[in-house]
Each structure stands twice: as structure tokens, then as C-alpha cells.
């Protein structure tokens, strides 16, 4: 004779039967709502914290995030995924071969992908389009707003071209 009884377990209500097996289930499943990605952003920054904060803030808003800490890997990813925006650590880029920086500029130009540079000093005049630089140290809120602004403007320029 099996007797079913309900008791409170670690994962919510538990149903125990005579066989000694328990099934745990939660009374209210939690689901995060995500939008279907409309945009994609490639983040090339050595700080894992930057990847996670931007992913947490932007993915629920419909932005797919690709991230790496290595500029050479970022260049491969930029060519493979052709993101709508590249967020690039200018200080790290300065430490790699000039050819990698030049290839990022070429990739950006050929794919019409804007690049948002983040760094301690503003780039030299003419080396970056105006309004596409965020100075370190930065707060994530303004950086996220700048990313959203650039994504919106890239969408508008695509609509005008069509």
C-alpha cells in the first residue's frame, strides 16, 4: 500500500511515495523574458566584468552579445558574425600589432559597422569618428546608453539606405 504525502523540501513542494523516491518541483517556475535579438554587439575588452554587465543589461533588450578579451580573436569574430556594433578597448588595441588595429578599421569600413572605442585618452583627431569614444574610467549606465544610441542610429542609416 503506497501512501502519498506532500511535504516542503529544498526545491519547493515534494511528493513522496512508498518507494522512497521524491520528486521536487517548484510551485512557480521563474522565467526570464528575452526578446528575439534584433542587434548584435561584439565586445573586445580584457575585463570579464565588462562582458557580464553589458550582457546582463543588453540581452533582455534584444541585443545579442559576442565577447572576447583578445583583439586578434575579436577580429575573427567580427568577420564571422558581422555585428551591428563593435565595442573595442583602445588601450588593449594599442598593445597589439598595428596590423590588427588596421584590420579592425578595414573590417568596420567594409561592413559599415561602427566602432565604439573605450580608453583612458581620446584617440588622435581623425582616427575615430566623432562621438564614438567613451573615456575610462566610465560608469556602465552612460556606456550602455551610448551603445543603444549607436545601435539605433545604425538602424536608421540602414532604413535610409533601403
pLDDT bin (cut points 50, 70, 90) of residue 97 is confident
Distance of CA 78 to the CA centre of its chain: 13
What is the average per-residue pLDDT within 35-61?
A: 91
**Cα dihedral 51→53→59→63 (10° resolution):** -60
**How many Å apart are CA 95 and CA 153, to the nearest integer?**
30
**How many Å apart are CA 47 and CA 49, to the nearest integer?**
5
pTM: 0.71
pLDDT at 74: 94
CB 104 within 8 A of CB 90: no
Q: Which stretch of 32-36, 49-53, 106-110, 147-151 has the lowest confidence by average pLDDT?
A: 32-36
**How many Å apart are CA 136 and CA 45, to the nearest integer?**
12
pLDDT bin (cut points 50, 70, 90) of residue 77 is very high
What is the average per-residue pLDDT within 125-139?
A: 67
Amino acid at each position: 500500500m503506497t501512501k502519498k504525502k506532500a511535504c516542503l523540501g529544498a526545491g519547493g513542494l515534494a511528493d513522496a511515495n512508498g518507494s522512497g523516491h521524491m520528486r521536487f518541483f517548484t510551485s512557480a517556475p521563474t522565467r526570464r523574458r528575452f526578446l528575439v535579438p534584433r542587434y548584435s554587439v561584439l565586445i573586445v575588452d580584457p575585463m570579464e566584468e565588462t562582458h557580464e554587465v553589458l550582457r546582463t543589461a543588453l540581452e533582455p533588450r534584444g541585443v545579442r552579445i559576442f565577447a572576447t578579451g583578445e583583439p586578434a580573436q575579436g577580429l575573427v569574430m567580427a568577420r564571422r558574425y558581422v555585428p551591428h556594433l563593435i565595442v573595442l578597448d583602445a588601450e588593449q588595441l594599442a598593445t597589439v600589432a598595428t596590423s590588427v588595429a588596421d584590420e579592425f578599421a578595414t573590417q568596420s569600413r567594409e561592413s559599415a559597422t561602427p566602432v565604439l572605442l573605450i580608453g583612458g585618452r581620446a584617440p588622435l583627431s581623425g582616427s575615430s569618428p566623432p562621438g564614438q569614444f567613451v573615456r575610462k574610467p566610465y560608469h556602465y549606465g552612460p556606456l550602455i546608453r551610448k551603445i543603444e544610441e549607436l545601435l539605433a542610429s545604425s538602424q536608421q542609416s540602414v532604413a535610409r539606405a533601403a
